[in-house]
Structure 1
Amino acid sequence: LTKVEIDKYIKMFSVAASNAVHKAGFDGVELHSANGHLLEQFLHASAKPCNNRMDEYGESIENRARFLLEIVEGVSKAVGGRQDCILYLCANTQLLADLAMNDPIPTFSYTVTELKTRFPKLAYLHAIKPQVCIEGNIHEVKENESNDFLKAIWSPRPLILAGGFVCDNAIEAADMEGVLIAY
C-alpha cells in the first residue's frame, strides 16, 4: 500500500465505524487484527505475508504497529471517543503457520501498551490464545507461549480470550483468571 492508500484505509475504517454506531445504531465496533487480515499483516516482520516495508510503517516494532494504532485512533474519534471501540488481536505463534511470529511478545507488548495508554476508553481487548481446540482435542501451548503477558499489561481492563476452550477449562479460566471467554 502507498501512503495515500494507507490514509484511505484509515478513513474507510473510520467512516464504517461512524456509520455502524451513529447511523445503524450499533453499540460499538470491534477491529479485527487477527487471522491474517490486513491490520495483523502490518505487525508481522518474520512471516508471510509479512510487512517488509522500509518506511514509517515497517522495520521496527513501533513502525509496524503504526497502521493499527492510526486505525484505532481514527475509529475512536469517529465513534466519539466512546467506550465502544475494541480490538481483536491474535498474539500467538501457532495459528496460521504462514503468519507465525518467532517471538510475538515484544510486538504485542508494545502494541497493547500503546493501546492502553493512548485509548483509555477502549471497552476491552479480545485475544486468541496460542492454544487451539480442533475436533475436541486441545493442542497445548508451547513452553513460554501464553497470553499471560497481555493480561498483565491490559489489567485491570476487560480481556476476552478465545481458543482452546471447552466448557470445563472456560469456567476455570473465567473463575480463576478473571477473563471473559469467547468461542
Structure 2
Amino acid sequence: MPRGKYVNHKGKNRRFNNPEEINEQMEKEKQKREWREKHGEDPEEESGEEKGSDAGSDEESSSSDEEEKAKGVQHLIQIENPNRVQKKVKKVTELNAEATSSSSSAAPQLSRREREEIEKEKARANYQRLHAQGKTDEARADLARLAIIRQQREDAARRREMEVKEKEAAAKAKTDQTQKAMGKKK
C-alpha cells in the first residue's frame, strides 16, 4: 500500500525495445524496399516514417538538400498567405519591357487618398491666386475692412495734427498775453 494520498503512475507501463526487435524491423523494411524495387513500384511512394529510416540513399539525400524535411503535418496542409510577398526573380529583358510599358502610360495609378490630396493642393493654390487678385468674397470683405481702417487712421492723423496746431496756437497766445501783461513788445 502506498504511503500518502497520491500515487505516481509515470514509470509503471514503460516498455523498451530491445536491439533485436529493432534489427528485425529494419530487416523487414529493407526486404519490402527490395521487393518493391524488383517489382517496379516506386520507393518514393513509401510512408514518411519509412523515408526517415532510409536517410543513407543517394536519392533521398539529394532531395533533402533541395527541400527541408516537413515537420509534423506541414507537408499535408497547403496554406497560402495572401499577405506574404514572395520575391520573384526577373530577367533583364522583362525589366526593360516593364520600364518601357510603364513610361508609355500617361500617369501612374494613384490611390484615392493621393488623388484627394493632389486635388486639395490644386484647389488651395487656385483659391490663393483668386484671393490675391481680390476676386473672392473673403478678399472683397478684407479689402473693404482695410479701406475702412485706412479712412479711420487718416481721420485720426488729421485730428492729431489739428490738436497739435491748436496746442501750439494756444501756447503762442498765452505767451503773447504774458508778454503783453509784462509790457514787453516784440
TM-score, normalization by structure 2 = 0.26
Task: Give the number of the structure whose residues are more often strand, by fraction.
Answer: 1
**Structure ID, larger Rg:** 2
TM-score, normalization by structure 1 = 0.26
Higher relative contact order (CA 8 A, sep 6+): 1
Task: Give the number of the structure whose residues are more often helix, by fraction.
Answer: 2
